[in-house]
């Protein structure tokens, strides 16, 4: 196997972040130097910042703790795989918690000035002309979170060690923005802030070969498909007097669609049909098809490895 060629290296000090241009086929390694440090992460299409990483889609497809073998997706209507997690030596990352902010530290702790991920991200992104409003929901590397049965998100201390790392492979040209999480008064980074090493590599053919093929679908749209492709440049919202709504697929039509079942399929349907459906065989069929879809698309967490290091 050929060696990865190193392109650059950078150490992020506590209180800082770094906007890193990544060409398609390059890898960003985010690595613990001392261990125990959470890293917040934003990602934009380098050629169109309006396409950015979407934690919502990512957690729907890959769960709350995406790890090796999963993708980071962009927001609708783009919904493209932006990054692939090639390696993850610790196996705990989070797409549930928002970035910490100045408001969090003032409202919860009384610190009206405190280092925080939102302001660090904004300052790092400013190198590329972005504003504090452009910071988006954060992918939180090395952050140990869980959801309790009553629906609350919790976090625990982490036990990452020096050298633990996550390798993110760019599937398109991106601006990747990691920062040292500023939470020194929470469990996130074990109550202290430590530096983090960033290394950019050129992916080898072997690296690229392990990425599962992601089909391009017609529903993945770009600005050339938008009715309004122009980015709004002023702040106030004003009604367009010429606006006439053109919602897709409207008016919505509901019609019966006969489905022919074989005797075997009919017997199978009857065998799993619950009382709740009454005589409504179509309702039972819809539920069965949904279960199949759920298992096929939501249950298949893209081969993520068992979580280690808990």
Minimum CB distance to Zn ion, residue 307 (Å) = 22
CB closer to Zn ion, 177 vs 181: 181
The token duo for 120 is: 């660090």
CB closer to Zn ion, 17 vs 69: 17
Minimum CB distance to Zn ion, residue 48 (Å) = 27
Q: Which stretch binds Zn ion (CB under 5 A): 22-30, 83-91, 96-104, 169-177?
A: 96-104
Minimum CB distance to Zn ion, residue 115 (Å) = 9
Q: What part of residues 149-208 is at the interface with Zn ion (CB under 5 A)?
A: 181, 183
CB closer to Zn ion, 40 vs 51: 40
- Cα separation, 92 vs 73, in Å, equals 18
Q: Which stretch binds Zn ion (CB under 5 A): 112-120, 197-205, 229-237, 246-254?
A: 112-120
Tally of CB atoms within 10 A around 289? 11
195: closest CA among 6, 16, 40?
A: 16
- Cα separation, 247 vs 225, in Å, equals 14
CB closer to Zn ion, 155 vs 183: 183
CB closer to Zn ion, 67 vs 179: 179
Minimum CB distance to Zn ion, residue 249 (Å) = 41
Residue that has been written with the tokens 């409202």 in this structure: 107
Minimum CB distance to Zn ion, residue 97 (Å) = 8
Minimum CB distance to Zn ion, residue 290 (Å) = 37
Contact between residue 199 and residue 18 where contact means Cβ atoms under 8 Å apart: no
Distances 157 to 22, 34, 112, 144, 194 between C-alpha atoms, Å: 31, 15, 25, 7, 14
Contact between residue 201 and residue 4 where contact means Cβ atoms under 8 Å apart: yes
Site mask for Zn ion (CB under 5 A), range 259-288, x = bound: ------------------------------
- Cα separation, 195 vs 15, in Å, equals 9
Q: Which stretch binds Zn ion (CB under 5 A): 14-22, 43-51, 83-91, 98-106?
A: 98-106
The verdict on whether omega for the bond into residue 53 sits within 30 degrees of 0, i.e. cis, is no
Minimum CB distance to Zn ion, residue 193 (Å) = 10
The token duo for 204 is: 């080898």
CB closer to Zn ion, 154 vs 291: 154
Classify residue 12 as exposed, middle or buried by CB count within 10 Å of its CB (0-12, 13-18, 19+): buried
Contact between residue 104 and residue 116 where contact means Cβ atoms under 8 Å apart: yes
Name, in order, each residue with C-beta under 8 angstroms of 149's C-beta and a sequence gap of 6 or more.
none
Site mask for Zn ion (CB under 5 A), range 214-243, x = bound: ------------------------------
- Cα separation, 20 vs 141, in Å, equals 16
Number of residues near Zn ion (by CB under 5 A) = 4
Q: Which stretch binds Zn ion (CB under 5 A): 15-23, 52-60, 114-122, 281-289?
A: 114-122
Instruction: Single out the residue of 100, 176, 186, 203 in contact with Zn ion (rule: CB under 5 A).
Output: 100
Residue 117 in contact with Zn ion, rule: CB under 5 A: yes
Binding site for Zn ion (CB under 5 A): 100, 117, 181, 183
């Amino acid at each position: 196997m050929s060696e990865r060629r190193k392109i650059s290296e950078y150490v992020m000090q506590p209180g800082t972040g770094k906007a890193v241009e990544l060409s398609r086929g390059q890898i960003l390694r985010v690595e613990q130097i001392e261990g125990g440090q959470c890293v917040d992460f934003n990602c934009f299409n380098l050629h169109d910042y309006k396409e950015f990483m979407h934690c919502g889609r990512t957690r729907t497809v890959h769960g709350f703790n995406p790890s090796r073998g999963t993708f980071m997706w962009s927001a609708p209507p783009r919904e493209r795989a932006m990054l692939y997690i090639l390696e993850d030596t610790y196996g705990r990352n989070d797409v549930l918690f928002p970035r910490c902010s100045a408001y969090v530290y003032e409202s919860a702790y009384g610190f009206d000035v405190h280092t925080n991920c939102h302001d660090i991200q904004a300052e790092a992104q400013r190198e590329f002309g972005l504003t504090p409003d452009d910071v988006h929901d954060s992918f939180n590397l090395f952050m140990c979170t869980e959801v309790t049965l009553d629906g609350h998100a919790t976090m625990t201390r982490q036990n990452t060690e020096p050298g633990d790392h996550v390798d993110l492979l760019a599937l398109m040209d991106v601006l990747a923005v990691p920062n040292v999480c500023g939470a020194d008064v929470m469990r996130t980074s074990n109550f202290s802030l430590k530096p983090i090493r960033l290394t950019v590599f050129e992916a080898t053919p072997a690296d690229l070969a392990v990425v599962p093929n992601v089909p391009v679908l017609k529903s993945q749209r770009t600005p050339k498909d938008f009715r309004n492709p122009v980015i709004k440049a002023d702040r106030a919202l004003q009604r367009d007097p010429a606006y006439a709504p053109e919602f897709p697929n409207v008016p919505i039509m509901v019609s019966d669609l006969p489905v022919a079942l074989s005797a075997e399929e009919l017997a199978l349907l009857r065998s799993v049909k619950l009382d709740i459906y009454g005589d409504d065989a179509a309702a039972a069929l819809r539920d069965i098809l949904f279960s199949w879809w759920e298992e096929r698309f939501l249950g298949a967490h893209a081969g993520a490895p068992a979580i280690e290091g808990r």
